Amino acid sequence: MTDLLLSVRNLRVELSTRREIVRPVENVSFDLRKGQTLGIVGESGCGKSMMLRTILGLLPRGGRITGGEILFQGTDLLKLSNQQLRDVRGRLIGMIFQEPMTALNPVMQVGEQIAEGPVAHLGYTKKAGRRRAVELMQQVGIPDAARRFSAYPNELSGGMRQRVMIAIALACEPQLILCDEPTTALDVTIQDQILKLLVQLQESTEISMIFVSHDLAVVSQICQSVAVMYAAEIVEIGSVASVLADPSHPYTLGLLRSVPDFDNVKAVLESIPGIPPSLVEPPEGCRFRARCEFAQEDCASGDFPLLFSDGERASSCIHSNSCREAAQADPIIGSRVR
């Protein structure tokens, strides 16, 4: 596979605080091809955001990578020096944050912030950086870009700020953009505009994206493939169409069931019973066991690696068949297959 852009292999991360050790990323592996968008879905605290930070080598204090590799264009990012890593950040891999208000410098003009990347990484002059910033602001659909250049973040609406964030991420023409719930903090209508913008940018620039979200609907809108994360592990991975239509891990099924169904207003919104396990002392065996309707005795011990059914489709559930049957029987999910 020559068009492989990013390949994460058996990544493990450990966070030690004063009292305990948390393992927010355990044995995570996935591939991302050029021009592809991978969605990562999961509940809050399942390790999605930590994984993005790990890719950029920006773990919080006490964070440590205990195993695995992150191959970006064949180079292991974990083996790079700080200096080399700085050249990767921003220049080859960009990042879009969840809350554009806090992720922008409040006392710097937004145009300056967009121009900073090209000036710092690509040796642009101040003037050229400014031109580039205005160009990018137009590209991400900020009206009246030349005048907005000198606006401060608090003068812009949430949607405009997120467009600024996107422009900053795009400024050095990276090959990969990591999106950390970029639409969660926005109104639904604005959310839709931003998603459309991301899809459109991806089509025009062939940039690859990793899109972290807790919202399956959003992921299905812009991603080609999806990885479902639960309690620091990837439990199911595959193309968006196949995972959504034919979930083969009970957690994915639970997530799908808990998406509101507006065609069937009477239906009670389902939720997955229980809470995710502690990442300090995760339970033996399958981590979803305690909340799973298909759990059997053999789920209580052993390792649960991803089992590949065909090239790209995998689930860590050893009872995936009963899960799939239940999915087919579900009127809403089943209807997607038919």
Partner 1 sequence: MGAASSLPIPLTSDDLQRGRGARRISPNLVAGSIILFVIIGLVIAAPLVTSYSPTALNATQALLGPSLHHLLGTDELGRDEWSRLLYGGRVDLEIAFLAVLASFVVGTAVGCLAGYFGGWVDVIAMRVVDVILAFPFFVLVIALVFILGPGTKSIYIAIIATDWVSYTWIIRREIIAMKRHEFILAAAALGYRHIRIMIRHLIPNCITQAIVYSMSDVVFTILTIVTLGFLGLGVPPPAPEWGSMMSDGQQFITTHWELATFPGIAVVIAGIGLSLFGDGIADLLRVE
Determine the Cα–Cα distance for residues 38 and 40; give it in Å rounded to an integer: 7
- Is the distance from CB of 109 to CB of 151 less than 8 angstroms? yes
Residues 167-206 that bind partner 1 (CB under 8 A): 168
Of the candidates 112, 71, 72, the one whose C-alpha atom is nearest the C-alpha of residue 91 is: 72
Which range, of 64-72, 96-104, 189-197, 326-334, touches partner 1 by CB under 8 A?
96-104
The residue within the footprint of partner 1, chosen from 102, 258, 301, 321 (CB under 8 A), is 102
- Is the distance from CB of 53 to CB of 28 less than 8 angstroms? no
Determine the Cα–Cα distance for residues 94 and 36; give it in Å rounded to an integer: 15
- Is the distance from CB of 52 to CB of 210 less than 8 angstroms? yes
The residue within the footprint of partner 1, chosen from 3, 18, 107, 123 (CB under 8 A), is 107
* CB nearer to partner 1: pick between 9 and 121: 121
Which range, of 116-124, 129-137, 186-194, 254-262, touches partner 1 by CB under 8 A?
116-124
Look up residue 232 and give its amino acid.
A
Look up residue 231 and give its amino acid.
A
16: contact with partner 1 by CB under 8 A: no
* CB nearer to partner 1: pick between 54 and 252: 54
Complete DSSP assignment for 226-273: EEEEETTEEEEEEEHHHHHHS--SHHHHHHHHTS--TT-TTSPPP--S
* CB nearer to partner 1: pick between 11 and 169: 169
The footprint of partner 1 on this chain (CB under 8 A) covers a number of residues equal to 28
* CB nearer to partner 1: pick between 87 and 203: 87
The residue within the footprint of partner 1, chosen from 22, 41, 95, 222 (CB under 8 A), is 95
The residue within the footprint of partner 1, chosen from 16, 66, 154, 321 (CB under 8 A), is 154
Determine the Cα–Cα distance for residues 26 and 330; give it in Å rounded to an integer: 31
Least Å distance between CB 49 and partner 1?
Answer: 11
The residue within the footprint of partner 1, chosen from 13, 22, 39, 97 (CB under 8 A), is 97
Local structure of 96: helix, strand or coil: strand
Least Å distance between CB 83 and partner 1?
Answer: 9
The residue within the footprint of partner 1, chosen from 116, 181, 236, 246 (CB under 8 A), is 116
Q: 116 is written with which tokens?
A: 């900073």
* CB nearer to partner 1: pick between 180 and 246: 180
Q: 285 is written with which tokens?
A: 């065996």
Of the candidates 59, 23, 48, the one whose C-alpha atom is nearest the C-alpha of residue 211 is: 48
146: contact with partner 1 by CB under 8 A: no
* CB nearer to partner 1: pick between 86 and 291: 86
Look up residue 227 and give its amino acid.
A
Spell out a b/e string for 81-102, using b for 16 or more CB atoms within 10 Å of the CB, else e: eeeebeebbbbbbbbbbbbbee
Per-position x/- string for 17-56, each x denoting binding to partner 1 as judged by CB under 8 A, each - no binding: ---------------------------------------x
- Contact residues for partner 1 (CB under 8 A)? 56, 58, 85-91, 94-95, 97, 99, 102-108, 116-117, 120-121, 152, 154-155, 168
